[in-house]
Amino acid sequence: MLLPDFSGSSTNNDAPEPLAERSRLRLVRCQIERRSAARSRVSVEFEGPWFTTPLVCEQEGTTCPGGDLRLAARATLDALTTATQDALRFDLIGVKPSRAFDTSVMLVAVMVHCGDESSKVLGVAVDEENDVLATVRATLHAVNRFVAPILGPLPISG
């Protein structure tokens, strides 16, 4: 697997260089709203020192367990695309709740595109009775190694 080089000495002119003030992107809120006609809207909100207002991304689609989780992952990936100023593009491959070691976990697979390079990544998070939050966390875990060099670490508030 080829990983993009975001170091300051890189010849990659497409990716913004990390800035000292771009040290954190923090998940503030994620919620799902069930709407009429079997529709759901998932909203994720991030804040960072370079945003004057919180970064909010939403996805809306048909209500179903797997569909709601895909909406959460897509909203998160939209927020990260915006935060990285389109230096990275993401294609959601899939979201899968699973059980491992007597624990419910959420798996998220993403294809990350940076310039001409693409990498398939997988993130996992423990599902503690909130599938939407677990999906957002697993999505962040999947893409962190690509996003962190641009924005800094992606801590998740409890």
At residue 77 the predicted structure's pLDDT band, cuts being 50, 70 and 90, is very high
CA distance 54 to 77: 16
Q: Exposure string (b/e) for 132-146, b if CB count within 10 Å is 16 or more?
A: bbbbbbbbbbbbbeb
User: Rounded to two decimals, what is the model's pTM?
Assistant: 0.76
Tens digit of each residue's pLDDT (9 = 90 or more) over 126-139: 977 888 889 999 99
- Which residues are 98's β-sheet partners? 105
Once rounded to an integer, what is the mean pLDDT over residues 35-56? 82
What pLDDT, in 10s, does the model give residues 2-34?
A: 444 444 433 344 444 444 444 567 888 888 888
What residue ranges define each of the domains in the chain, with the CATH number in brackets? 26-151 (3.30.160.270)
**What is the pLDDT at residue 24?**
67
pLDDT value of residue 125 = 92
